[in-house]
Structure 1
């Protein structure tokens, strides 16, 4: 069940907290050559960064790895990050998000002097969020190098619900390396288990999330007190994470998805959009658990930076029935239908891919875009993207560690 991001209680223990609380783990790590793949949200229950917490326990990593946005989370999306010395600790940090696809995977020489790779990345439950692919590629490289990989699991901030289709062959990219639904309902460790089941050569251990009793599953974070630190610059809150699986689709269009504002993925619009008409049409569709409010805005950067956008703000009124992918698809379909002369698909390269439209990478296929361009009825467009795809591996992965399926 997908619960409201406002129903936080307390008592969760992440995989990071578990190893830091364990004298046996600390002793093992202190006697090993350790590397850490982490980012700004890799914190303990007391909001201490994992790397700092390790140093406090006399575990000095040999090397750090940072994903998209960098180890400390300063870089915007799709901005290459250089490898450098971490200013906070003086430790060498290798960027796993550089200028080309080769930079996404650790090189063999960057792992040959490593015994243990610790991975602590806060995912947000969406197929497009790149951290899970960084973790997968790093674990795969560590396995090839003979290093032990340990995944420190965290809750999926939007719960175990699933929504959306799969990635079709030929449409794989860094926003869709695995054939998962748009909203996948897995934790990071479960994603790596899915990758292993799908044929990736990955050998890893996972430290599960535990609840207040120390034994029960806290895979539904809205029953727990999991700390929240924004995992990327435009993912400030759990509310953002909840709408992201749908509103990220706007990255494949010339609509602003609210980047450059204080409410990314909740605000959307463009200078040419008739917000009143679009809002009225969306309300007539009776989308579950959401309302739209006219809200103009001016992005400070990215699409339409410095231009006043006529827009809407999305307000989730019932998170348990809200369907983010359905909502994002409805927004795209409505804006294309009402503004055929102004609406456009993104044509620039997207996540290292230049030969396919970004929207096809986000949809995972080109059928849905074709139907929208052909002005098909929304029911037909909806079914092209949202019809469930049987996936036995997904069912098995969803039971990994916690024994419960979505």
Structure 2
């Protein structure tokens, strides 16, 4: 690892010899992405300390190893023997019993910068549970891999809150998890005892390749930073009857369906002239039985991001929606994406092919004010 690498929150704690946590009983929200720059698990680093006491582990969606595409049960960490409580199974937030005799919960997960990526919902629910039970929350901050400057796409609304729409955020929020924790805590009046352990050296203009850190898949199908960048746009439509490449070697780089004409759709996307994007027709067959169109040959589109700085995933998402609605009005089940959109008026605009859709496809101005109050980095 280069000495130029950005320090994550856990590495900043290490440099400070964990002074803020001494003599505390702590739990940690962690998975396979929760590692130090020198490759040690956050769980192991905490468990080996003699000046604090690690009581338990909480795991998010995809489980402690980040390799499960289903609900996850409780388990035991083989290396430490500590209980692992799933926050994506029977309960989605720590229970009072699990927080009993815990002074602080540490949150150390790698996010991808998209509103419907569920690790940030887990963060919000953690703040709520800890606030209600008088337990402090320490967010060990990590970089937003797709940068901290660009904010785009429609905000969800408060009537459509769900596990993929915890708060009224745009598709791409341009924030770190530490900043989101501050926003949630203030805007939702949670008022938990929140401490963000900020990164060392990170700047808003940084993308993953600027951090000096190696890529770790935060979940099974986000396998590179390009997938993370495409996710707010392509991932938006996976609630419908199309495949977004899960069960293939290129999840979120492709999308298609057995009923689609990939060449025609690729041409239509190309005609939108989305900056930084090249696309070509693709043929693929999903091979995982838990994903849509399992073993069904699909025709679709392969997306190649040639300039990440100018590319807009929200613009791509809108283009896909409008093209599918126009070309396949009787086949594409567009209403099923309402949960990921988090807005019923957008579904109505899609249904009516309304020219207002493009206007609605922008962040709420109020979000920018709340975001500005929560930012931690320049």
TM-score bucket (shorter structure): over 0.9
Matched, 1:70 2:60: no
Q: CA RMSD in A?
A: 1.9
Residue of structure 2 aligned with 1:375, choices 347, 353, 364? 353
**Compared with structure 1, are the counterparts of its residues 365 and 196 closer, same or farther at alpha carbon in structure 2 (3 Å cutoff)?**
same
Contact kept in structure 2, 1:10 and 1:226, CA below 8 Å? no
Matched, 1:393 2:367: no
Q: TM-score, normalised by structure 2?
A: 0.92
Q: Which has the higher contact order (CA 8 A, sep 6+)?
A: 1
* Map 1:196-275 → 2, pairs under 5 A: 196-198=185-187, 199-211=189-201, 217=203, 220-221=206-207, 222-275=209-262
Matched, 1:45 2:52: no
CA deviations 1:110-153 (Å, max 9, x no partner) are: 10111121110111111001111111211221232222221100
Q: TM-score, normalised by structure 1?
A: 0.86
The alpha-carbon deviation at position 56 of structure 1 amounts to 3.8
* Map 1:3-402 → 2, pairs under 5 A: 10-25=4-19, 29=21, 31-58=23-50, 61-76=54-69, 79-99=70-90, 103-160=91-148, 161-198=150-187, 199-211=189-201, 217=203, 220-221=206-207, 222-301=209-288, 302-345=291-334, 358-377=336-355, 380-386=356-362, 388-391=364-367, 392-398=369-375, 401-402=376-377
The alpha-carbon deviation at position 218 of structure 1 amounts to 6.7
**Compared with structure 1, are the counterparts of its residues 240 and 81 closer, same or farther at alpha carbon in structure 2 (3 Å cutoff)?**
same
The alpha-carbon deviation at position 200 of structure 1 amounts to 2.1
Q: Which structure 1 residue ranges, 5 or more long, are not aligned?
A: 1-7, 346-356
Counterparts of 2:173 and 2:363, CA distance in 1: 14
Contact kept in structure 2, 1:164 and 1:388, CA below 8 Å? no
Select between 83-92 and 234-243 the one with higher mean Cα deviation: 83-92
Counterparts of 2:271 and 2:308, CA distance in 1: 20
Number of residues of Structure 1 aligned to a counterpart in Structure 2: 370
The alpha-carbon deviation at position 172 of structure 1 amounts to 1.0
**Compared with structure 1, are the counterparts of its residues 172 and 29 closer, same or farther at alpha carbon in structure 2 (3 Å cutoff)?**
same
Counterparts of 1:363 and 1:389, CA distance in 2: 18
Q: Which structure 2 residue ranges, 5 or more long, are not aligned?
A: none
**Equivalent position of 1:349 in the other structure:** none
Which secondary structure state, in structure 2, belongs to the residue aligned with residue 150 of structure 1?
strand
Which secondary structure state, in structure 2, belongs to the residue aligned with residue 35 of structure 1?
strand
Contact kept in structure 2, 1:43 and 1:49, CA below 8 Å? yes
Counterparts of 2:24 and 2:204, CA distance in 1: 30
Contact kept in structure 2, 1:140 and 1:203, CA below 8 Å? no
Select between 16-25 and 107-116 the one with higher mean Cα deviation: 16-25
**Compared with structure 1, are the counterparts of its residues 322 and 388 closer, same or farther at alpha carbon in structure 2 (3 Å cutoff)?**
farther
CA deviations 1:164-200 (Å, max 9, x no partner) are: 1212231111111111111000000100111122122
**Equivalent position of 1:350 in the other structure:** none
Counterparts of 1:144 and 1:368, CA distance in 2: 35
Which secondary structure state, in structure 1, belongs to the residue aligned with residue 226 of structure 2?
helix
Which secondary structure state, in structure 2, belongs to the residue aligned with residue 334 of structure 1?
helix
**Compared with structure 1, are the counterparts of its residues 115 and 366 closer, same or farther at alpha carbon in structure 2 (3 Å cutoff)?**
same
The alpha-carbon deviation at position 385 of structure 1 amounts to 1.9
**Compared with structure 1, are the counterparts of its residues 169 and 31 closer, same or farther at alpha carbon in structure 2 (3 Å cutoff)?**
closer
Counterparts of 1:387 and 1:159, CA distance in 2: 17
CA deviations 1:297-324 (Å, max 9, x no partner) are: 1111200011111111111111111000
Which secondary structure state, in structure 1, belongs to the residue aligned with residue 284 of structure 2?
coil
